[in-house]
């Protein structure tokens, strides 16, 4: 059985504050040696992930903007079969700088319009990412200015923060608001998710629905079964974790695990973020006997 790993980036493979992989880098290298694809599934943008996968040494497909877009390297052995599957589903497929790009999302200007309508209906004030300056994005995310620009280079999702009452809300209050946003989004055939920092308005998809397309595509293209693993830290990872054989929730910097996900076989890591990633992935590689982890 082949193993494939989907992973959230911020707060999971990358440290929540420093955005560095730290101890996870060694486990990523082991996956590469073992031929286990590590497939980022993130809220981040195309340009952000293209930069990151180079620094992480990844050559696998990747999912951005919470499942709105799937990229497959044109040279990847399964790309042709997956392209046919996408066209068969009526999805839009284009080619961009060495990648096949498959679009699951709704265009951002439409989302911006709907966000204004939904928040108006709910009587809630929000700050959409598209209206934030680079300085504001830097202040909210801790990213340097050059990276802050890349955060806003998105096509199929609109992240937003709540008005200035954000800091005062408990987790339960944020989850309750998420439910109200989600109901408003559903009336327009859209979805709303909560990440580590931002809410996200997007089309009727998630990291999980796009990961399911990838799992099915790999299965069809290879003619073989795949064992799937996924790691995440926030509610916008829950759909992804529900889709796989081995779901992993990594611990957050405050020592907690995101509440509200009750599924069989869920592993909650002891390690925070990348330390939890290293812990869960090396254990899985050992169990799958694809690598000798005694060396690390
Ligand atoms: Mg995260």
Predicted local confidence at residue 145, as pLDDT: 83
Per-residue confidence (pLDDT) for residue 166, from 0 to 100: 58
236 CA to centre of ligand 1 in angstroms = 8
* Whole-number CA gyration radius for the chain: 18
Give 48-102 pLDDT, tens digit per residue: 999 999 899 999 999 999 999 999 999 999 999 999 999 999 999 999 989 999 9
Calculate how far, in angstroms, residue 195's C-alpha sits from the geometric centre of ligand 1. 6
Question: How far is the centre of ligand 1, averaged over its atoms, from the C-alpha of 240 (Å)?
Answer: 12
> What is the rounded distance in angstroms from the CA atom of residue 208 to the CA atom of residue 240?
4
234 CA from centroid of ligand 1 (Å): 5
**Do 207 and 236 form a contact (C-beta atoms < 8 A)?**
yes
**How far apart are the CA of 224 and the centre of ligand 1, in A?**
30
Distance from C-alpha of 218 to C-alpha of 205, rounded to nearest angstrom: 19
Centre of ligand 1 from the C-alpha of residue 177, in Å: 19
CATH 3.30.980.20 range(s) for the chain read 108-202
Could you tell me the distance, in angstroms and rounded to a whole number, from the CA of residue 249 to the centre of ligand 1? 10
Residues in the chain, total: 296
Of 116, 113, 112, 84, nearest in space to 100 by CA: 84
Sequence-ordered list of residues with C-beta below 8 angstroms from that of 196, at least 6 positions apart, any chain:
10, 11, 16, 233, 234, 252
| Record: fold of 2-104+206-295 | Rossmann fold (3.40.50)
Question: Rounded to the nearest whole angstrom, what is the distance from the C-alpha of residue 9 to the centroid of ligand 1?
Answer: 6
Compute, in angstroms, the gap from residue 16 CA to the centroid of ligand 1: 8
Q: What is the pLDDT of residues 151-203, one digit of tens each?
A: 999 999 999 998 865 567 888 888 999 999 999 999 999 999 998 889 999 99
Ligand 1: centre distance to CA 32 (Å): 22
Distance 277 CA to ligand 1 centre (A): 12
Q: Where do the CATH 3.40.50.1000 domains begin and end in the chain? A: 2-104+206-295
pLDDT at 294 over 80: no
| Euclidean distance between CA atoms 95 and 117, whole angstroms | 34
* pTM value > 0.85: yes
Map residue 72 onto helix, strand or coil. strand
- pLDDT given for residue 78 in this prediction: 97
pLDDT at 147: 85
What is 108-202's CATH superfamily? Answer: Putative mannosyl-3-phosphoglycerate phosphatase; domain 2 (3.30.980.20)
Q: How far is the CA of 81 from the centre of ligand 1 (A)?
A: 30
Answer whether 46's CB lies under 8 Å from 70's CB: no
Is the separation of the CB atoms in 37 and 60 below 8 Å? yes
User: What pLDDT sits at residue 167?
Assistant: 62
User: Residue 253 Cα, ligand 1 centroid: separation in angstroms?
Assistant: 11
Q: Measuring CA to CA, how many Å separate 263 from each of 15, 58, 75, 266?
A: 25, 29, 36, 6
CA of 7 to the centre of ligand 1 (A): 9
């Amino acid at each position: 059985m082949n193993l494939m790993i989907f992973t959230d980036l911020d707060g999971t493979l990358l440290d929540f504050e420093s955005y560095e992989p730290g101890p996870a880098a060694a486990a990523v290298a082991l996956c590469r040696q073992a031929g286990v694809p590590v497939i980022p599934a993130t809220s981040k943008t195309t340009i952000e992930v293209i930069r990151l996968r180079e620094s992480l040494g990844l050559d696998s497909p990747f999912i951005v903007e919470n499942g709105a877009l799937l990229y497959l390297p044109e040279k990847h052995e399964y790309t042709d079969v997956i392209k046919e599957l996408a066209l068969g589903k009526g999805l839009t497929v284009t080619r961009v700088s060495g990648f096949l790009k498959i679009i699951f999302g709704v265009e951002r200007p439409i989302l911006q319009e709907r966000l204004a309508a939904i928040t108006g209906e709910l009587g809630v004030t929000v700050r959409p990412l598209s209206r934030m300056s680079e300085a504001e994005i830097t202040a909210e995310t801790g990213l340097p200015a050059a990276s802050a620009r890349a955060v806003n280079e998105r096509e199929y999702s609109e992240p937003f923060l709540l008005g200035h009452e954000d800091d005062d809300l408990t987790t339960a209050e944020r989850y309750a608001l998420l439910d109200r946003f989600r109901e408003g989004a559903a009336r327009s055939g859209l979805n709303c998710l909560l990440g580590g920092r931002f809410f996200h308005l997007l089309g009727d998809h998630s990291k999980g629905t796009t990961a399911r397309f990838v799992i099915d595509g790999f299965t069809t293209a290879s003619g073989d079964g795949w064992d799937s693993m996924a790691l995440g830290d926030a509610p916008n990872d829950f759909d992804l974790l529900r889709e796989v054989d081995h779901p992993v929730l990594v611990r957050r910097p405050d020592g907690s695990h995101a509440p509200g996900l009750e599924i069989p076989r869920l592993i909650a890591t002891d390690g925070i973020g990348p330390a939890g990633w290293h812990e869960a992935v090396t254990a899985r590689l050992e169990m799958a006997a694809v690598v000798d982890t005694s060396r690390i």
